[in-house]
């Protein structure tokens, strides 16, 4: 019995050390998707919170499993005998149920509140009215993401509806992405910003984020969309300073000038023309 | 019992052969590759190489696999191209297909070519009315995109429009996919099926180096 008590203490100490060390490591580790936007930071925080809570529980289960396998292990019986009667431990069971209930309910409340206050007004929209030019960083800058097999292009309704092959965003400016598709279902995944939205023909999928770190990022399609799906990606998306963004917009406006008269008026969705295509 | 085992082994072998045939024949086709034609010209110290492609409404027996899909639209003779690293590619495309129109007018602009220009039957242009396009020659990772004007419906039989442009490929070897951005696959949903989804017709690879 003394050996059993000693083993229990050792397992508990090992579990405590592992739980604390794991949580410290998680606190110090870079948690995806990172801190490149407010949305990404929120996602990283949620992942970290869940991991920090989950690791002690997971390691406790492992410790209990180890304890059961090693300490409770009996020598092979020499004859066929019945095992000892199973005995419950009301205090342990009650503690376990109460603790997990508190954790799960707390996370449910946290998730519900986060969902309620996150991305107000975003989601699927069929409102075709475009936003006015933002006068402050708190007003969102609308950027349309147009997916087509197999390239993303981008329209900036605030700047005359110019369309570009490169996504460039001003830092610390809330961006409201309007994601749509011209053919099949794609998925716009700007991993570093924590932005991922399906691009569905005739649907306007809205998601917002505020990029907070200047840099060059990768964008890719996250929905199997045909022959070149694996290549529907680029590493040239940029978050730049407001002055650099203004200069880039000016440059793209000049480049786009010959085609502007042909571009369709800005809209949140674009009707296909079955009478022409595929005929 | 022994018969059942042999039947099982035979079944597995037959399934394996069928799967292998499917994988090698349909999932991993290798259209023929053509090398760029070297020239004695240079542009800013870079060698200039030539390619001459033709777009047709129906590839006939000249298409991939000896005419597996003779009615499919396509580039001829192939869409697998090889060029030396750092070269200037002088591309000539004999456009024999008719006008379909661009799904996204954005591709009406010539991008990524030398001077952002092309010549259409000898006329220098920087953009094309999207409604007149039959196809595009677009290499997304190089930022190259050229709209190809289609032959008008009332043009004479065997009419052709010659589009020429030049672009520079990277100094380092690499593999770049290219494709047409006009949903031009007749008879498929919104024009996006068949030759748009099959290597060797409206999609290919440019091997640099």
Q: Which residue has the higher pLDDT, A274 or A69?
A: A69
In the predicted model, what is the mean pLDDT of chain B? 90
Q: Which residues of A touch B188 (CB under 8 A)?
A: 278
Residues 83-112 of B with CB under 8 A from A: 100-101, 103-106, 108-109, 111
Architecture of domain B31-208: Sandwich (2.60)
Examine the domain organization and report whether A66 and A128 are in the same domain: no
Sketch the domain layout of chain B as residue ranges.
31-208
Examine the domain organization and report whether A63 and A141 are in the same domain: no
Task: Write the DSSP assignment of A201-254 as a string of letters.
Answer: BT-EEEEEE-B-S-EEEEEEE-S--STTGGG-EEEEEEEE-HHHHHHHHHHHHH
Residue A59 lies in a domain: yes
Question: Which of A51, A5, A277, A2 lies closest to A149, judged by CA?
Answer: A277
Helices (H) and strands (E) in chain A, counts: 4, 11
Residue A143 lies in a domain: yes
CA distance A196 to A188: 5
Domain termination residue (choose one: A72, A90, A110): A72
Ramachandran assignment for A161, one of left (phi > 0), alpha (psi -120 to 50 degrees), beta (any other)? left
Q: Could you tell me the pTM of the whole model?
A: 0.83
Mean pLDDT for B80-88 is 95
Residue A231 lies in a domain: yes
Look at residue A276 and tell me whether its pLDDT is greater than 60: no
Residue A100 lies in a domain: no
Mean pLDDT for A245-271 is 93
Look at residue A44 and tell me whether its pLDDT is greater than 70: yes
Examine the domain organization and report whether A32 and A137 are in the same domain: no
Least reliable range by pLDDT among A90-99, A128-137, A233-242, B64-73: A128-137
Examine the domain organization and report whether A60 and A129 are in the same domain: no
Look at residue A73 and tell me whether its pLDDT is greater than 80: no
Least reliable range by pLDDT among B7-21, B41-55, B59-73, B94-108: B59-73
Q: Exposed, middle or buried: residue A224 (CB in 10 Å: 0-12, 13-18, 19+)?
A: exposed
Element (H, E) at A104: helix A90-117
Beta bridge partners of A151: A148
Cβ–Cβ contacts within 10 Å for residue A154, how many? 22
Nearest neighbour of A228 by CB, restricted to B100, B129, B203: B203
Per-range mean pLDDT, top range of A37-46, B26-35, B119-128: B119-128
Work out the percent of chain A whose per-residue pLDDT is above 70.
89
Q: Could you give the ipTM of this predicted complex?
A: 0.84
| Residues 6+ positions from B168 with CB-CB distance below 8 Å | B46, B86, B87, B88, B89, B114
Examine the domain organization and report whether A142 and A21 are in the same domain: no
The pLDDT, as a whole number, for residue A118 is 64
Residue A86 lies in a domain: no
Question: Do residues B115 and B44 lie in contact, with contact meaning Cβ atoms separated by under 8 Å?
Answer: no
CA distance A179 to A161: 15
CATH of the domain at A138: 2.60.40.420
Examine the domain organization and report whether A150 and A211 are in the same domain: yes
Cβ–Cβ contacts within 10 Å for residue B69, how many? 18
CA distance B127 to B118: 8
Mutation site, A144, A145, A147, A151, interface B, largest B CB count within 10 A: A151
The shortest C-alpha distance from A257 to chain B (Å) reads 9
Residues 173-212 of A with CB under 8 A from B: 182-184
Q: What domain range includes position A35?
A: 2-72
In the predicted model, what is the mean pLDDT of chain A? 87
Instruction: Establish if A89 touches chain B: CB-CB under 8 angstroms.
Output: no
Q: Which residues of B touch A153 (CB under 8 A)?
A: 104, 106
Examine the domain organization and report whether A62 and A130 are in the same domain: no
Residue A265 lies in a domain: no
Helix axes A2-28, A38-70, angle to 10 degrees: 160
Residues in chain A, how many? 279
The pLDDT, as a whole number, for residue A272 is 66
For residue A69, name the pLDDT band (cuts at 50, 70, 90).
confident
Tokens of A92: 């342990």
Q: What's the number of domains chain A is made of?
A: 2
Residue A128 lies in a domain: yes
The pLDDT, as a whole number, for residue B189 is 81
Examine the domain organization and report whether A233 and A149 are in the same domain: yes
Tokens of B84: 């030396």
Residue A276 lies in a domain: no
């Amino acid at each position: 019995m003394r050996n059993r008590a000693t083993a229990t203490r050792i397992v508990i100490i090992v579990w405590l050390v592992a739980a604390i060390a794991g949580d410290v490591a998680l606190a110090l580790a870079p948690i995806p998707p990172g801190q490149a936007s407010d949305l990404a930071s929120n996602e990283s925080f949620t992942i970290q919170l869940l991991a920090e809570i989950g690791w002690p529980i997971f390691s406790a289960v492992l410790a209990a499993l180890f304890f059961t396998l090693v300490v409770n292990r009996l020598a092979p019986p020499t004859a066929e005998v019945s095992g000892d009667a199973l005995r419950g431990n009301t205090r342990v069971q009650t503690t376990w149920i109460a603790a997990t209930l508190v954790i799960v309910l707390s996370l449910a409340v946290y998730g519900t509140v986060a969902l309620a206050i996150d991305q107000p007004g975003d989601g699927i929209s069929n409102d075709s009215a475009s936003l006015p030019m933002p006068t402050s960083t708190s007003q969102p800058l609308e950027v349309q993401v147009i997916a087509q097999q197999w390239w993303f292009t981008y329209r900036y309704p605030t700047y005359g509806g110019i369309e570009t092959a490169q996504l460039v965003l001003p830092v610390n400016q809330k961006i409201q992405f309007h994601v749509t598709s011209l053919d099949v279902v794609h998925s716009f995944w700007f991993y570093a910003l924590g932005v991922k939205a399906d691009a569905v023909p005739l649907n306007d999928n809205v998601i917002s984020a505020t990029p907070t770190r200047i840099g060059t990022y990768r964008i890719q399609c996250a929905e199997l969309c045909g022959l070149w799906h694996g290549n529907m990606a680029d590493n040239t998306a940029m978050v730049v300073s407001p002055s650099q963004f203004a200069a880039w917009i000016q440059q793209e406006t000049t480049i786009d000038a010959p085609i502007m008269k042909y571009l369709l008026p800005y809209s949140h969705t674009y009707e296909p023309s079955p009478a022409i295509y595929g005929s | 019992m022994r018969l059942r085992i042999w039947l099982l082994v035979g079944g597995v072998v037959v399934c394996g052969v069928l799967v292998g045939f499917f994988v090698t024949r349909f999932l991993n086709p290798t259209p023929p590759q053509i090398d760029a034609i070297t020239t004695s010209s240079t542009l800013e110290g870079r060698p200039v190489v030539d390619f001459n492609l033709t777009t047709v409404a129906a590839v006939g027996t000249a298409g991939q696999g000896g005419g597996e899909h003779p009615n499919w639209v396509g580039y001829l003779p192939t869409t697998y191209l090889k060029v030396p690293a750092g070269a200037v590619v002088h591309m000539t495309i004999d456009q024999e297909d008719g006008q379909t129109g661009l799904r996204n007018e954005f591709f009406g602009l010539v991008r990524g070519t030398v001077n952002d220009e092309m010549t259409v039957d000898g006329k220098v242009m920087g953009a094309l009315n999207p409604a007149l396009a039959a196809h595009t020659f677009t290499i997304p990772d190089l930022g190259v995109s050229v709209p190809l004007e289609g032959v008008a419906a009332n043009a004479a039989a065997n009419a052709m429009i010659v589009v020429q442009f030049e672009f520079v490929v990277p100094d380092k070897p690499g593999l770049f996919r290219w494709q047409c951005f006009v949903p031009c696959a007749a008879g498929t949903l919104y024009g996006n099926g068949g030759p748009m989804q099959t290597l060797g017709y409206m999609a290919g690879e440019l091997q640099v180096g």
